[in-house]
Amino acid sequence: MDQTLIIGLGNPDPALENTYHNVGALAVRWIAEHADVDGPGMPALTFRAYKDSFEYVRTRNGILVRPLVFMNESGRAVKDAMHVFGAEAKDIVIIHDDSDLPVGEFKRVQGGGSAGHNGINSIIDHLHTEDFARIRIGIREKDEPRRKKAGDFVLSPITADDKKTFEGIFEKIAGLFLT
């Protein structure tokens, strides 16, 4: 495959769209709407659905994918997208939230376990490999007085300040793949 599948994890429920757990899906949408993905002055790109599994948009340098399934079922959508586009695990980059990193930080990693992330667990289970790239976007409060469990905040609405921080991160991520 000559293009990378850039897959942003999240939940399809509109009530959960602007929560911390959806930061991967928000990243992919932001890239399609704001980045120079199809040439200077081009309008925002429109996603096309593939069955009830995922939606996608092609760019010059990659295919942006958002699963249309809940986080715990992400592996099914990723496997479907790989099949449709003839991709292998080495051709995909998964963008997802990471409750071990503070807001404002992101890391690109290759392989590794799920660290308890249910979406990543599902992908590993469906692909039978951990050998894919990931971009982990931090969602934990920076100066958290006591460490909350991820379940206590991942479905909370994103604050206005954090939204601005995430948009800066999304722009940097777009630069990694779409320049």
Kindly name the residue from 21, 34, 83, 117 that is annotated as catalytic.
Answer: 21
Strand order in the sheet with 133-140: 48-50, 54-58, 62-67, 4-8, 92-102, 133-140, 106-110
DSSP 116: T
64 Rama class: left (phi>0) / alpha (psi -120 to 50) / beta: beta
Residue 55 identity: E
Sign of CA dihedral 62, 64, 65, 71: positive
Q: Could you confirm whether 126 is annotated as catalytic?
A: no
**Hey, which residues are catalytic here?**
21
